[in-house]
Structure 1
């Protein structure tokens, strides 16, 4: 009999708020797979990044699965939650609202450049709150580099309808599940036609397209962690490695191996 994983919900630590004198601050937290942070919001913007491991960030009606090669920008005032999928060294960068590198309230996924990663590591070595010439230099360079980083369009939109919420949550936890929409409909106590209409209305895509987004989101940390493509395809419910690679190429215009070797 399997034992369910019990997640510990952690309060978000106070202190280390950015100021005009120190517009960027960082707080280091090492978390294990049982940890999560309940929905919360704050007055500053945040670049949510982990040096290793995999986390899931949920905000603004979407969820993102984030490997170390990526980070999620969360604008000031946007409610968000964090779930740890693998043990992580979390390094959230707090940025004064007035210095936000992006003008809107949209969340976005950034491809973390080598320079940005080194700037985060450099900021971690400094006293967390005390202004200093070095902190000012690192902060300005970090803001400039964030604005230059590539953005990644993959996101998994989340529904508001309760009939879809349970279905979608289960698919995010088990993206390789072979169940069809008709199978899910029987479990949800709704017709297949009703669920299909809800996917189009609530998420702007079909069930198959949404499931593909979920599988792509899971594929990134698997491939980045060195998992063989054949096993990635198997874990995500594809009939073969070639079927997975074909889907990946259709989405990104290149093969998985080429995509990640470039990064």
Structure 2
């Protein structure tokens, strides 16, 4: 089914059909408020960038990846600039053998083609061919490699307040000690608990937040040098090196891929 609108009954109550696939595009930014439903959901990008926010963390979804959200996990999503993508809704019972926790998956060509084929199905039950394609989609979600594009959020209310403030303004240059004073927690406790609750040091977590924000700025067409300076890096080369080490390609190459995948504008 093309477009991102789906009958709420299928998402919240029905287990038939086992897989519902929507695909569509939007030239404007679009977002959804936090919500949850009975079906699991796979968010995928075909063009542009999507961010998915859950209670456990924030995931970036470039056009090479998808984010899996199991049933009943509270989540919201937002596109950044022109966006084309897909959503796969998986019936609750069919999620039993799928990953039990949210995660970012590297999309295979097989999954992408199966999803695009399924997006053309009419609403309703699946025929024998449809059941086979649905099985391929489920197998791919089950077995695709997981990539670390997520940013886990701490549970402690004071640390979560700091994390959300940094996500709102990744360029904030306050020191760990200044953040600790702002949140009424000792610097030592902040440092220790951040590692315990997120798996990252405070410095590494903030750096990752900046890099995920950089993905959104690249999708919006912001020049690389401006991104580096706005996010507080000492030089553009420092930012470029960190970006390449994290995402496997320099920011200019990522931006070029977005440009090449964008539809031509009418004259």
**Could you tell me the TM-score, scaled by structure 2's length?**
0.75
8 Å Cα contact 2:69-2:101 kept in structure 1: yes
Q: Partner of 2:130: helix, strand, or coil?
A: helix
Task: Tell me which of 52, 64, 69 is aligned to 2:64.
Answer: 69
Matches within 5 A, 1:1-263: 14-17=8-11, 19=15, 22-27=17-22, 33=29, 35-42=31-38, 44-59=39-54, 61-86=56-81, 88-89=83-84, 91-100=86-95, 103-223=98-218, 228-251=223-246, 254-256=248-250, 260=254
Q: For the structure 1 residues 218 and 98, does the alpha-carbon distance in structure 2 shift closer, same or farther, using more than 3 Å as the test?
A: same
In the TM superposition, what is the alpha-carbon distance from 1:101 to its structure 2 partner?
A: 8.5
Residues 124-173 of structure 1: CA deviation (Å, up to 9, x unaligned):
22112232244223212323333453421132111222222221112112
Q: Distance in 2 between matches of 1:96 and 1:33?
A: 28
8 Å Cα contact 1:16-1:27 kept in structure 2: no
Q: For the structure 1 residues 158 and 181, does the alpha-carbon distance in structure 2 shift closer, same or farther, using more than 3 Å as the test?
A: same
Q: Distance in 2 between matches of 1:249 and 1:75?
A: 30
8 Å Cα contact 2:52-2:58 kept in structure 1: yes
Q: Distance in 2 between matches of 1:34 and 1:102?
A: 31
Q: Partner of 2:9: helix, strand, or coil?
A: coil
Q: Partner of 1:15: helix, strand, or coil?
A: helix
8 Å Cα contact 1:39-1:79 kept in structure 2: yes
Q: How many residues align?
A: 250
Segment of structure 1 superposing worse, 234-243 or 80-89: 80-89
Residues 182-219 of structure 1: CA deviation (Å, up to 9, x unaligned):
23234334443332233133323321011122123233
8 Å Cα contact 2:171-2:230 kept in structure 1: yes
8 Å Cα contact 2:49-2:219 kept in structure 1: no
Alignment-derived partner of residue 3 in structure 1: none
**Contiguous gaps of at least 5 residues in structure 2:** 259-267
Q: For the structure 1 residues 41 and 217, does the alpha-carbon distance in structure 2 shift closer, same or farther, using more than 3 Å as the test?
A: same
8 Å Cα contact 1:60-1:107 kept in structure 2: no
Q: Distance in 1 between matches of 2:99 and 2:115?
A: 23
**Contiguous gaps of at least 5 residues in structure 1:** 1-10
Residues 41-76 of structure 1: CA deviation (Å, up to 9, x unaligned):
32x321122444433323352221223332111123
Q: Partner of 2:135: helix, strand, or coil?
A: helix
Q: Partner of 1:213: helix, strand, or coil?
A: helix
